[in-house]
């Protein structure tokens, strides 16, 4: 998943985990870690459709909050 350039998925991971959602930050998939800052890898192979819906709702709330924070900081 690609997010706006102002977001850093590695920095955002702790907040997502607090909300019960996990992902792999994109930096794990790039030779230069800075290239993957705004990407995340999601896994849908195990959860039910209902769990996926809830996880996406939670993750969406985290991303929305992070975007609002970035905007307030002028990023």
DSSP state for residue 33 in the 8-state scheme: G
pLDDT in tens, 41-56: 998 888 899 999 999 9
**Nearest-angstrom CA–CA distance, 20 and 55:** 8
Instruction: Give the CA angle between residues 7, 46, 44 to the nearest 5°.
Output: 35
Low-confidence ranges of the chain (pLDDT < 70): 75
C-alpha pair distances (Å), 63 with each of 5, 6, 23, 29, 57: 12, 11, 13, 20, 10
Instruction: Give the CA angle between residues 46, 52, 56 to the nearest 5°.
Output: 135
Which pLDDT does position 75 carry in this prediction?
64
């Amino acid at each position: 998943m690609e997010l706006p350039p102002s977001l850093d998925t590695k920095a955002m991971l702790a907040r997502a985990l607090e909300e019960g959602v996990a992902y792999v930050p994109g930096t794990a998939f790039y030779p230069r870690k800075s290239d993957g800052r705004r990407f995340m890898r999601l896994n849908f192979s195990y959860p039910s459709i209902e769990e996926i819906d809830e996880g996406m709702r939670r993750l969406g709330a985290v991303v929305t909050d992070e975007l609002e924070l970035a905007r307030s900081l002028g990023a």
